[in-house]
Amino acid sequence: MSSTHHPPGSAETVFAAMTDLNGVWRGKRLPAAQLPKMGQGGLRMPLSVCALDIWGEDMQGSGLVLATGDGDGLCHPTGRGPIAMPWLDQPAALLPVQMRREDGSPWPLDARQVLAGIVAGFAEKGLTPVVATELEFYLYDPAQDTAAPPQAPGEPTPMQSDRILSMDDLERFAPLLDALFEACRAAGIPADSATSEAGPGQFEVNFTHVADPMKAADDAVLFKKILRGLARKFGFGASFMAKPYGDRSGSGLHIHFSLLDRQGANVFDDGTALGSDLLCQAVAGLMAAMHAHTLIWAPHANSYRRLVPGAHAPTAICWGYENRTSALRIPGGAPQARRIEHRVAGADANPYLVLAAVLGAALQGIENAAIPPDPVLGNAHQQDLPQLAPDWASAVDAFAQSDDGVFPDLLTRAFAHIKRQEIARFLQDISPFEYQTYMDIV
């Protein structure tokens, strides 16, 4: 399968788009000749496009759509792009945009600009977050009605068993992975390594640390878009569902971050394996907000299949040194590389919201000089510790009632409304398993 790239300069079509609060791309298809107009903020879309439910429906009865006239906002390029879309037959490019009000002020339902405001808060203190992400995903057979492992090239049957760190899988899927990393290089995405993960068809891609949280978040959402497109071209589907198989490993979005001062020194480094007071303050801020932010880490119905006690995904609100059962892990290594790993979010979460929640809570901990509890030792799953919200509805309530100031009130209200709308629709659906269980029995 060819992976030839169409350079953005030869594109005949441009897709100007942004991600909504669910992380779903929304936008318009335009002739490439309109690029100069788009660059001057001449593209308009409804402000409400940022706050659609997972099916693309408006928030019903929220007072934020029709009651306000459903007015337009101005879409400005983010500075990334145009980016080639090599999975399409004709030369095309993606132009990421962000939403502003008519007066030019940031739109608080644009998650990217919420993150930008938090990054600006660090800058005011002379601090720069250095961020890296790790994303897990599944390749699957798109010809099946439900999640089904793909048939690896060169194998006679679909994949069935766990394949952690399988070299064979990395070799058999090399054409797709090669095209993926080539597209990432062309888009300026620092994809660093790929591993075969535990589930059949599951992989993880790690990204190098960058001293720009906006770029790290952009890279994650662009990577998802690029992977899905290339997977289709190679005859596969690619999914970032948190738990596509009930009996297999879930997929996570792990965040690693440290903070640099104006001289470029890591303020989490105190020359020891323990890390500085600022590291502990950031940890305390993260722990204080973690329960209320469960909806950010786990925004969908399927997300809570991953967050179950005793699995690899953490459910206890705790921190520890070199402890992968804790929600916050302080990796070992050289002191100058001291950092925090936030291990809670699923791969289905919106990277902009995840980074905003992580960095915003850490900043609050530093501002308040907060003190964390003692780090955990051993298996956190077996200890009596504070927990994340246990289910989707509880997570919505906790988020709606939070007043920590990390997110704008309008975003908190809108995201909770969207999720309650989605819950209501799920409750109306009757699954085949429900019919099989009850139809002729009760």
Task: Render pLDDT for 73-118 as a digit per residue (tens, 0 to 9).
Answer: 899 999 987 999 999 988 899 999 999 998 889 999 999 999 999 9
Residue 99 belongs to a domain:
no
The number of domains in the chain is 1
Residue 90 belongs to a domain:
no
Instruction: Confirm whether pTM is higher than 0.75.
Output: yes
Averaged pLDDT, 30-59: 87
Under the banding of pLDDT at 50, 70 and 90, the label for residue 288 is: very high
Task: Report the pLDDT value the prediction gives residue 233, as an integer from 0 to 100.
Answer: 95
CATH number, residue 297: 3.30.590.10
Q: Are 220 and 253 in contact (CB under 8 A)?
A: yes
Task: Report the pLDDT value the prediction gives residue 85, as an integer from 0 to 100.
Answer: 94
Per DSSP, the residues of 129-170 read EEEEEEEEEEEE-TTSSS------TT-SS---S--TT-HHHH
Nearest 5 degrees, angle CA 187-CA 191-CA 195? 145
Residue 69 belongs to a domain:
no
User: If 0-12 CB within 10 Å is exposed, 13-18 middle and 19+ buried, where does residue 308 land?
Assistant: middle
Amino acid in the structure at residue 135: L
Task: Report the pLDDT value the prediction gives residue 236, as an integer from 0 to 100.
Answer: 94
The dihedral formed by the CA atoms of 299, 279, 378 and 208, expressed in degrees to the nearest 10: 60
Q: Please determine, for residue 38, whether its predicted confidence score (pLDDT) is greater than 80.
A: no
pLDDT in tens, 222-242: 999 999 999 999 999 999 999
| Dihedral sign (CA 157, 163, 168, 169) | positive
Of 413, 422, 368, nearest to 393 by C-alpha is 422
Averaged pLDDT, 22-44: 86
Residue 131 belongs to a domain:
yes
Q: Are 421 and 57 in contact (CB under 8 A)?
A: yes
Task: Report the pLDDT value the prediction gives residue 144, as an integer from 0 to 100.
Answer: 87
Averaged pLDDT, 252-265: 97
Q: Please determine, for residue 67, whether its predicted confidence score (pLDDT) is greater than 70.
A: no
* Domain span holding position 219: 118-149+183-191+201-407
pLDDT in tens, 412-439: 999 999 999 999 999 999 999 999 999 9
pLDDT in tens, 147-174: 888 887 877 777 776 677 667 788 888 9
Q: Please determine, for residue 361, whether its predicted confidence score (pLDDT) is greater than 90.
A: yes
Give me the half-sphere count of Cα atoms (radius 13 Å) on the Cβ side of residue 390: 2
Give me 79's structure tokens: 């500075």
Averaged pLDDT, 56-73: 74
Is residue 25 classed as helix, strand or coil in its secondary structure? strand
Q: Please determine, for residue 183, whether its predicted confidence score (pLDDT) is greater than 80.
A: yes
Of 263, 280, 261, 274, nearest to 130 by C-alpha is 261
- Per the prediction, the chain carries an average pLDDT of 91
For the ranges 3-17, 31-45, 98-112, 353-367, which has the lowest average pLDDT? 3-17
Give me 7's structure tokens: 């350079």
Q: Please determine, for residue 145, whether its predicted confidence score (pLDDT) is greater than 90.
A: no
Is residue 442 classed as helix, strand or coil in its secondary structure? coil
Residue 109 belongs to a domain:
no
- Distance CA(121)–CA(129), nearest Å, equals 11
Residue 433 belongs to a domain:
no
Averaged pLDDT, 265-272: 95
Residue 168 belongs to a domain:
no
Query: Can the peptide bond before residue 372 be classed as cis, meaning omega within 30 degrees of 0?
Result: no
Residue 142 belongs to a domain:
yes
Q: Max alpha carbon distance in the chain (Å)?
A: 72
Under the banding of pLDDT at 50, 70 and 90, the label for residue 4 is: very low
Averaged pLDDT, 200-221: 95
Question: Above pLDDT 70, what percent of the chain?
Answer: 95
Under the banding of pLDDT at 50, 70 and 90, the label for residue 5 is: very low
